[in-house]
């Protein structure tokens, strides 16, 4: 059994890890940390886990994290890099759901996250945790930086087109929407029910910290310079993410060939569903699952196919966009089938 510790078990990604790992056939939940809730049974805070998780929260100084096989950090940025060295020295693998090990460009990290990087030497060893595009590196990694939710949709949506060299990489557009849970489980006026409900707004329009992460990874897929306009939006729902991606085609290619690019790219991917051309994937079709769904569109101009391709991507921002992706990485790192514990059918209605 894989002994698992979770640092920061009281936020949305933390409880989502607990939900997924509670029924994982190869996992033993060993430690869940929280300073404030030290000694409180996990099921007292999260009744949904009654009968599934029977351990209590423990303060970080009491949790025996070095006795674990892997530790997930479901914490704010900066926490994992302060503790990673000690855990790695003890032979513990680390998966960080924050941004500490996502960006290889330290200057970019420090600019966007407003803090110095605490362990640049370990950053060089970290694997970026988007399995579909970085499987081999994750399999042999001791430390993984789990991708951001928006970057997951943008990378998987643009990747087949960039690899095939059929679009203008310098002028990519991503119009993305997320449920309120993406903002985390904290008290903020903007995420109160009466503020976020019955409302829709853009944010981070002048610049969002998921942009440099996405640009860094997309640049590995093409020799062209990548340019990206990315606008995130907050939607009045709890879970779900919908990204509408736009790119200009630079080569003659028909719709069937475009579809084949995606079907071939993701033919053996258990958590990427390429829907029929012209489909309209819905966020509820992925709710509470690790599935990501993609559909292609090609607007017509004067009755003929134009030079713009539109890629629709949906996922659950807390599962494939965060905790489910982290468990997928863990499975690879320990030689398990990456689908282990992740074959949940989406919840509908």
- Across 75-102, average pLDDT: 96
Q: Which residue has the tokens 């976020």?
A: 196
Average pLDDT in the chain: 95
Distance separating the N- and C-terminal Cα atoms of the chain: 35
CB 163 within 8 A of CB 224: no
pLDDT above 70 as % of the chain: 100
Q: Which of 293, 125, 154, 124 is nearest to 221 (CA)?
A: 154
Tokens standing for 277? 């051309």
User: Spelled out in words, what is the top-level CATH class assigned to the domain 2-125?
Assistant: alpha beta
DSSP summary character for residue 300: E
pLDDT at position 231 over 80:
yes
Please tell me which residue in 119, 149, 176, 329 is annotated as part of the active site: 149
Q: What is the pTM (predicted TM-score) of this model?
A: 0.96
Instruction: Give CA–CA dist 135/332, Å, rounded.
Output: 8
In the annotation, is 149 catalytic?
A: yes
**If pLDDT is split at 50, 70 and 90, which confidence band does 187 have?**
confident
- Across 37-64, average pLDDT: 94
pLDDT at position 193 over 80:
yes
Q: Which of 68, 64, 80 is nearest to 28 (CA)?
A: 68
pLDDT of residue 189: 85
Instruction: Give CA–CA dist 211/151, Å, rounded.
Output: 8
Q: Which of 16, 1, 11 is nearest to 33 (CA)?
A: 11
Identify which has the larger pLDDT, 194 or 274.
274
Every domain of the chain and the residues it spans = 2-125, 150-316
CATH number of the domain located at residue range(s) 150-316 in this protein: 3.30.360.10
pLDDT in tens, 263-276: 999 999 999 999 99
**If pLDDT is split at 50, 70 and 90, which confidence band does 61 have?**
confident
- Across 307-322, average pLDDT: 98
As beta bridge partners, residue 230 has 174
pLDDT of residue 47: 96
pLDDT above 90 as % of the chain: 91
- Across 302-319, average pLDDT: 91
**Same CATH topology for 2-125 and 150-316?**
no
pLDDT at position 304 over 80:
no
**If pLDDT is split at 50, 70 and 90, which confidence band does 190 have?**
confident
pLDDT at position 194 over 90:
no
pLDDT of residue 185: 82
- Across 116-136, average pLDDT: 96
């Amino acid at each position: 059994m894989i002994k698992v510790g979770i640092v920061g078990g009281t936020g949305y990604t933390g409880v989502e890890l607990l939900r997924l790992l509670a029924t994982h056939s190869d996992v033993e939940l060993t430690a869940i940390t929280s300073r404030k809730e030290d000694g409180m049974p996990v099921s007292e805070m999260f009744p949904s886990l009654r009968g599934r998780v029977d351990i209590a929260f423990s303060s970080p100084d009491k949790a025996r994290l070095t006795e674990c096989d892997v530790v997930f950090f479901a914490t704010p940025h900066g926490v994992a890099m302060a503790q990673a060295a000690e855990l790695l020295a003890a032979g513990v693998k680390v998966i960080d759901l924050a941004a500490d090990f996502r960006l290889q460009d330290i200057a970019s990290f420090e600019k966007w996250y407003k803090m110095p990087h605490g362990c640049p030497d370990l950053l060089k060893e970290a694997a970026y945790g988007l399995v579909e595009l970085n499987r081999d590196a994750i399999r042999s990694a001791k430390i993984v930086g789990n991708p951001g939710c928006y970057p997951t949709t943008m990378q998987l949506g643009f990747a087949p087109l960039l690899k095939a060299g059929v679009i203008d990489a310098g002028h990519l557009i991503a119009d993305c929407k997320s449920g309120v849970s993406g903002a985390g489980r904290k008290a903020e006026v903007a995420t109160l029910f009466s503020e976020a409900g019955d409302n829709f707004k853009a944010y981070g329009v002048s610049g969002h910290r998921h942009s440099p992460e996405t640009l860094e990874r997309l640049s590995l897929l093409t020799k062209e310079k990548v340019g990206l306009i990315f606008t995130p939006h907050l939607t009045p729902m709890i879970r779900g993410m919908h990204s509408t991606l736009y790119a200009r085609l630079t080569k003659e290619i028909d719709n069937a060939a475009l579809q084949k690019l995606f079907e071939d790219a993701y033919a053996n991917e258990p958590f990427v569903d390429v829907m029929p051309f012209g489909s309209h994937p819905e966020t509820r079709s992925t709710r509470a699952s690790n599935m990501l769904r993609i559909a292609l569109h090609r607007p017509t101009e004067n009755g003929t196919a134009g030079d713009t391709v539109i890629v629709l991507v949906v996922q659950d921002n807390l599962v494939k966009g965060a905790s489910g992706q982290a468990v997928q990485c863990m499975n690879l790192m320990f030689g398990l089938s990456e689908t282990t514990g992740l074959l949940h059918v989406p919840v509908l209605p």
